[in-house]
Chains A and B, each alone.
Chain A
Amino acid sequence: MVVSTKELISRYQAGQTDLFEAIFDRYKDYVYRVAYSLTKHAAESEEVVQETFLDVLKALSRYDVDGAARFETWLYRVTSNRCKMRFRRKQLPTADWDEVGEQLGNLPNGHHKDDPEQAAQQAEMRRALWLAVGRLKDIYREVIVLRYGQGFSYQEIAEACEVSIGTVKSRLNAAHGQLQDMMAGDDTFYDQAGRRQRQHSSLLVLLCVRTWSAFWGVLKTGTPWQIKYATVR
């Protein structure tokens, strides 16, 4: 049975300090990723991981297990603080980040084993998107990584970054806008994406929306609404 993080921390706080290693094993990659996303630099991230866990060792006994926040958000905060302290006014090279993007480009894709072309396209798309994210400003990259990399909700992002939800929304919007602009020059991106969407869901979704809208209009007005059919490019 997997022990929950909460349980681990409780036991640690009750004196089972050996459990700190379990916590470390469970969260070392997470912390590394967070550090990486913030620094875009592998070696520095490792240093950050070490320092972060030393901080955690000191601070874990103060951690409120019963609090509302997830341990990950708290840990993110510790890590980002450590990063900010470490790299205040320091610009790091982004070569490591880009290297990951290249890896993504060369990565075989599970979904498209049978279709090498599609697989190549998707890998290319991943690479392009990763590089685009790497070119985002820190605050935008931060929210993108949290949203898509860690799957945080807006609320959790707000807690982790210690900003309001509105700020999270606007940052995300801005980040997406920038990414769209960056990806706009890449024809294959939307072609591929669009094709896939069409294939899978766009028509159905559109239909549903239209149908529902019409139904909604009938409900509201009492008279049948003229149904407009539009083609999607």
Chain B
Amino acid sequence: MNCEQTRQNLLAFLDDQVSDAERAQIKAHLVVCPDCVTELERLRTLRASLFDAIPAGMAQLRLSQSASDRIRAQLRRERERHSLFGVLFRKRHFRLGWVRAVVPIVVVFFVLFAVLIGPLATPVSAQETVIVTPAAFSPGTDAAVRVIVRDAMTAEPLSDAEVTVRLQPENEQEILLYTGHTGSQGTADVHFRVPDYGSDYLAADLIVNTASRLGQDRVRQAVILERRFRLYLNTDKPIYRPGQRVYMRTLTLESGTILPAAGHEIVLAIHDPDGARLVTKTVRASEYGIAATDYMLPADAVYGEYRLTATLGNTVSERTVSVGQYETPRFRVEVASDQSYYAPGNVVVGTVAARSLDGAPLSGAQVTLRAFLRDASGISRLVATLQGRTDGQGVSSLRFGMPDEPSTEQTVLVLEASVVDDEGHVEWGGQVIPVAIEPLNVNVVAEGGKLRPGVENVLYVLGTMPDGAPASMVVALDIAGQTIHLTTDRYGLGEVRFVPIDRDIPVHIVARDLGGREVSKTVLLSADKGPAQLLVRLDRAAYEVGDAIRVEAFADQEHVIYLDVVREGQTISTHVLELEGGRAEFALDVSPDMVGTLELHAYQVLADGALVRDTRLAVVDSAFPVRVSLAADRATYAPGDVAQVRVDTARDGTPVQSAVGIAVVDESVFALEDRVPGFAKLFFLLEASLLASEAQIQGTSLLALLDPPDVGEVRAAQNVAARAAWVDLPTSEPGVERSTSAPAPANKWVVVLMWGLSAALCLIPLAQWGIVILQCRRIDVTRLLVRRLGIVLVVFFLLAPAAGGAIGGLFALVGVTLAKIALWFLIITWFAIAIAVGIYSWRQQDAGSQHMVLLILAYGTLSALLCNIIGQAGDPGIYWRLGIVAMFLVMLVALLVWCAMLWLEKRLGIAGAVFALVLLSVVIAILLGLVYGADSLLACTIGDPRLYSGPVGWLVACSKTELPTRAPEAIEATQVVKETVVVEKEVEKEVTKVVEKEVQVTASPSPTAVPTATPFPQPTPSRPATRLPATATAQPLPTRQPTVQPTATAAGELLPPPLLGQFRPETIYWMPEILTDDAGRLEIEISLPDFATTWRLTAFASTRQGQLGTAMTTLVVAP
């Protein structure tokens, strides 16, 4: 080390700031270099002097007391500026202090604003409008719509609410249908005439506006104005040979008005068995709604079932006729038995009678009788084969024993007789007789289909003999521990009144009839386990115009019962039934516009908006149908005669002009197949589903019910039976539209306020983030913070869904009331924690925490305010709502970051409090969404637990499924309504098709189609009078007075004379539409062909008002 280097380091050497090596080198150099030693000494001197002088000088320097005091005061002021009072005066140091002043000012501003414009003055509530309406209306008819306005929270009906109903058809002007006010039951008597735009199908919107003191609603429901028709298609006969002419005739009535569909174009078509369309003809319906055509089947026509259709718009009516080679029977074979049912081991005694078509006995014919037992699955077993000859009366007796082994349920004995006359012709006859296992049948049916717990139910007891004949018997019923004794009347019917409990009840029945036969069985009556019970009872099943329907209703919930009368899917009147002690009574006058099938929909709207309903059917007939009387001039005609027939149509004893369709057809053709005469009337009167069931309500035929007064007792019995039979029938369900207040609030300031509040709620989380980020800068250890934050977030995302799930469970467990209390408790706790954190932050003079707490409190207050306003004044709009929800979540994360920061600063207490605050916010939000009454759209949106399940939602899937969410439900409901409408339409079409087929089957002579499962008296072939009373007027005419003057003689459609070598004609007269004169009279001349047979003359009359009447008579041609 040379001198220069050494001198560089001498000072450090003296200050002991050199390394050991340097020190050694310096020392070594100093030993040899005296100059450097001198320098060292000088330096040492200087250093010592400096150590003396500088501190001495420094000691002279003291901050003067005045400056010190001044600065201290300045600093104190500076620190005080962190406080609330200092913030306004802060000048130089911009530090978010303004937040502390601005936030309370904003909150106060909003609260004052809200108070000023007054929505807070009204109680927190909202109105709700429930609309029950069919989806389709018939133009030109009277219709009603059920509109209920009620308090959404308490479910109390709101009286004196303004209701306006408008219709907005597609591409048409909106028109006002109704305006009025609700009564004390919260419902307005909304009725109007459906406007007729002349089109058969028109989509429209039904707009219902309601306004009560609680708010306004605007409900829009899509409906269609649809003209529906019923097409009744008939032919001259059911079976044809190739080369014969098929005559078709349709009568078309509008479903809604039951008036003839005059002027509509009806498409008539015939399809061959392969489905190919043979002929299509478009015919305009006459003034009376009648359209007709005919078609000559080609000589080489394929054999099989031909489908005949009549189409108008969407409505298709269909019939099937057979085409084939057949022979008309030469004579008739009838089989009779001594009993109407047999038990195993019984001896069957009976007769086979053969008579020619004109009634002459056929003696000496060979008779073969075969007896089968056929079980439910259609498997037959031959029991006996008997041979014999008819005696002079044309009768051959039969006798054989039934096998002993017990038969199964629904087994029948089939007797099949073939008779061969001396010319070698074979004719068949048969009889089906039930085989009984039990000597008696007894059954119990609850009037509502299912037992309705808590209200008085009527149980119908039906006793029948195995053949279906009513059985009067003594019945003992064991129900739920009590025994009830009753005796069924001579129609086999009895009633028991019974209040069931909420579970399925087995009923043990012991029944004994007068003959000492006894049966016992157990029937399980299932109970309706719905939340509320409503039961409606009508006094009868069928009514006439002018009657009163007595409606009784029973309910276990004290809500008003709404009763809507629905006909053809359209509500025609609405009524309100007041409950007294769970029971209500009401008398409904039957007006002419109710003719047809009525559905009486009774329902209650429960507090939660759910509907509990019950529906009963009633059939209403017009009091005065058209009576058609046919008078032939002679009882018997000789071949080739001209018969003169007088047709009289009258209504209520007064002649009425009507259109009559007349056919004269060989009666033997009908021996093969036909519908029940008088079917047409039912066709127009009954709903399709009911018509289908008609096939099953044997013995309580509606014809019997509707048509003229039998003995009152019979009618009453049939009423009961029909009511019992209809309990399970499907009924149309009118669409229900529910709406809570949503539309535009009245006051524009409210909108401004809502927007302002929404904006504030969106901005506050941003401000919080700003504070959090500013605070983050203070902490340099970002990595540590991130780790803490991670832990906090994970804990949160685990706890939040758990809390949500727990609350959902709790909510289901404790119910709304307790949940509301819990909600209030939580809200108070939330504010308490927030205020505690605030106090802490103030005491600690922690500016960041103070800002955060202020913002949190402001958020809580403002969101409560907004929820409140939304609850009664509507919705700030979807975008605001979404924004608020998103920012709410953003705020939660900001608070969690803050929480992590506090944790990092080891301020565990306040960190825990903040975490609790965040968790409580979530819990409160969820509860707000769940608790009914607190549900505004906002609360629902924010409260959706799915929001909080976050990325670990799959861990707690329950929070997604278990919790009831309100909004989706509403959407579902509307969807369901739409679906039902569509389905109904389709079903209706199908049913119309099915119905006709079924009825044909029923009417066919083969009784095999008789369903024995029905618990009602089954038809006995021996009692046709009750089944076909319509034929009463058409029985062979008692008056044989010669026709007087051919006033309105119609030539009719004279058919070409039969050609030799061909088959005999079967339809000799066909007149689809001929008008009677003003006196309701018409005379026709019919040239009878020159062979002996019996002709059936049917007349089907319909008036311009749509009333119908049928009659039938026979013209006997004897040689």
Task: Work out how many contacts link A and B, with CB atoms closer than 8 A.
Answer: 156
Most buried by A among B17, B48, B58, B68: B58
In this complex, how many residues of chain B approach chain A with their Cβ under 8 Å: the count is: 52
**Interface presence of B55 (CB below 8 A):** yes
Q: In the complex, A36 Cα to B43 Cα: how many Å?
A: 26
Find residues 156-207 in chain A having any chain B CB closer than 8 Å to their own CB.
169-170, 172-173, 176, 179-180, 183, 189-190, 193-194, 196-197, 202, 206
Q: In the complex, A222 Cα to B55 Cα: how many Å?
A: 48
Contact B68 A54 (CB under 8 A): no
Among listed B71-79, B294-302, B500-508, interface-contacting one: B71-79
Among listed A1-9, A73-81, A84-92, A141-149, interface-contacting one: A141-149
Q: In the complex, A196 Cα to B48 Cα: how many Å?
A: 11
Minimal Cβ-Cβ distance residue in A for B49? A129
Among listed B59-67, B99-107, B388-396, B915-923, interface-contacting one: B59-67
Nearest-CB distance from A40 to chain B (Å)? 11
Q: In the complex, A101 Cα to B57 Cα: how many Å?
A: 7
- The verdict on A130 contacting B53 (CB below 8 Å), with A15-B844, A54-B74, A209-B30 known, is yes
Minimal Cβ-Cβ distance residue in A for B10? A173
Contact A24 B50 (CB under 8 A): no
Interface string of A109-144 (1 = CB under 8 A from B): 000000000000010011001100100000000001
Find residues 14-30 in chain A having any chain B CB closer than 8 Å to their own CB.
14-15, 17, 20-21, 24, 28-29
**Interface presence of B42 (CB below 8 A):** yes
Contact B52 A213 (CB under 8 A): no
Minimal Cβ-Cβ distance residue in A for B76? A21
Contact B50 A173 (CB under 8 A): no
Contact of B54 among A149, A189, A196, A216 (CB under 8 A): A149
Nearest-CB distance from B584 to chain A (Å)? 71
Q: In the complex, A103 Cα to B79 Cα: how many Å?
A: 38
- The verdict on A20 contacting B61 (CB below 8 Å), with A145-B54, A176-B43, A232-B41 known, is no
Task: List, in ascending order, chain A residues with CB within 8 A of B47's CB.
Answer: 176
Contact A20 B75 (CB under 8 A): yes
Contact B70 A50 (CB under 8 A): yes
Contact of B52 among A29, A122, A210, A233 (CB under 8 A): A122
Contact A17 B79 (CB under 8 A): yes
**Interface presence of B199 (CB below 8 A):** no
Task: List, in ascending order, chain B residues with CB within 8 A of A196's CB.
Answer: 45
Contact B54 A213 (CB under 8 A): no
Contact A144 B54 (CB under 8 A): yes
Contact B51 A176 (CB under 8 A): no
**Interface presence of A83 (CB below 8 A):** no
Q: In the complex, A129 Cα to B15 Cα: how many Å?
A: 19
**Interface presence of B116 (CB below 8 A):** no
Nearest-CB distance from B904 to chain A (Å)? 13
Task: List, in ascending order, chain A residues with CB within 8 A of B778's CB.
Answer: 61-62
Minimal Cβ-Cβ distance residue in A for B57? A130
**Interface presence of A82 (CB below 8 A):** no
Nearest-CB distance from A127 to chain B (Å)? 8
Contact A133 B46 (CB under 8 A): no
**Interface presence of A219 (CB below 8 A):** no
**Interface presence of A95 (CB below 8 A):** no
Contact A57 B75 (CB under 8 A): yes
Task: List, in ascending order, chain B residues with CB within 8 A of A31's CB.
Answer: 63
Contact A176 B46 (CB under 8 A): yes
Contact B27 A103 (CB under 8 A): no
Nearest-CB distance from B778 to chain A (Å)? 6
Q: In the complex, A55 Cα to B38 Cα: how many Å?
A: 47
Contact B11 A172 (CB under 8 A): yes
Contact B71 A28 (CB under 8 A): yes
Contact B46 A50 (CB under 8 A): no
**Interface presence of B56 (CB below 8 A):** yes
- The verdict on A169 contacting B75 (CB below 8 Å), with A104-B56, A130-B53, A230-B34 known, is no
Q: In the complex, A85 Cα to B71 Cα: how many Å?
A: 19
**Interface presence of B93 (CB below 8 A):** yes
Task: List, in ascending order, chain B residues with CB within 8 A of A150's CB.
Answer: 58
Task: List, in ascending order, chain A residues with CB within 8 A of B843's CB.
Answer: 15
Nearest-CB distance from B758 to chain A (Å)? 36
Q: In the complex, A210 Cα to B11 Cα: how many Å?
A: 20
Contact A197 B31 (CB under 8 A): no
**Interface presence of A69 (CB below 8 A):** no
Contact A32 B50 (CB under 8 A): no
Contact A148 B75 (CB under 8 A): no
Task: List, in ascending order, chain A residues with CB within 8 A of B62's CB.
Answer: 29, 32
Nearest-CB distance from A111 to chain B (Å)? 9
**Interface presence of A46 (CB below 8 A):** yes
Contact B15 A154 (CB under 8 A): yes
Minimal Cβ-Cβ distance residue in A for B39? A180
Nearest-CB distance from B122 to chain A (Å)? 46
Q: In the complex, A190 Cα to B31 Cα: how many Å?
A: 23
Contact A193 B48 (CB under 8 A): yes
Task: List, in ascending order, chain A residues with CB within 8 A of B315's CB.
Answer: none
Contact B15 A21 (CB under 8 A): no
Find residues 1-49 in chain B having any chain A CB closer than 8 Å to their own CB.
8, 11-12, 15, 17, 27-28, 30-31, 34, 37-38, 41-49
Contact of A197 among B11, B30, B44, B56 (CB under 8 A): B44
Contact A100 B78 (CB under 8 A): no
Minimal Cβ-Cβ distance residue in A for B18? A169
Q: In the complex, A107 Cα to B78 Cα: how many Å?
A: 39
Nearest-CB distance from A165 to chain B (Å)? 8
Q: In the complex, A57 Cα to B45 Cα: how many Å?
A: 42
Interface string of B216-229 (1 = CB under 8 A from A): 00000000000000
**Interface presence of B846 (CB below 8 A):** yes
Minimal Cβ-Cβ distance residue in B for A206? B37
Minimal Cβ-Cβ distance residue in A for B779? A62
Contact B70 A210 (CB under 8 A): no
Contact A169 B11 (CB under 8 A): yes
Q: In the complex, A230 Cα to B843 Cα: how many Å?
A: 74
Nearest-CB distance from A29 to chain B (Å)? 5
19 contacting pairs across A/B (C-beta < 8 A)? A15-B846, A17-B79, A24-B75, A31-B63, A49-B67, A50-B67, A54-B78, A62-B778, A64-B780, A104-B56, A107-B60, A154-B15, A173-B8, A180-B43, A190-B45, A212-B27, A216-B28, A216-B31, A233-B38
Contacts A54-B78, A103-B60, A149-B54 given; 15 further ones with Cβ under 8 A?
A: A32-B61, A33-B61, A64-B780, A125-B53, A126-B53, A129-B54, A144-B54, A148-B50, A154-B15, A154-B17, A169-B11, A193-B46, A202-B41, A209-B30, A213-B31
Residues of B within 8 A of A (CB): 8, 11-12, 15, 17, 27-28, 30-31, 34, 37-38, 41-58, 60-64, 67-68, 70-72, 74-76, 78-79, 93, 778, 780, 843-846
Residues of A within 8 A of B (CB): 14-15, 17, 20-21, 24, 28-29, 31-33, 36-37, 46, 49-50, 53-54, 57-58, 61-62, 64, 100-101, 103-104, 107, 122, 125-126, 129-130, 133, 144-145, 147-150, 153-154, 169-170, 172-173, 176, 179-180, 183, 189-190, 193-194, 196-197, 202, 206, 209-210, 212-213, 216-217, 230, 232-233
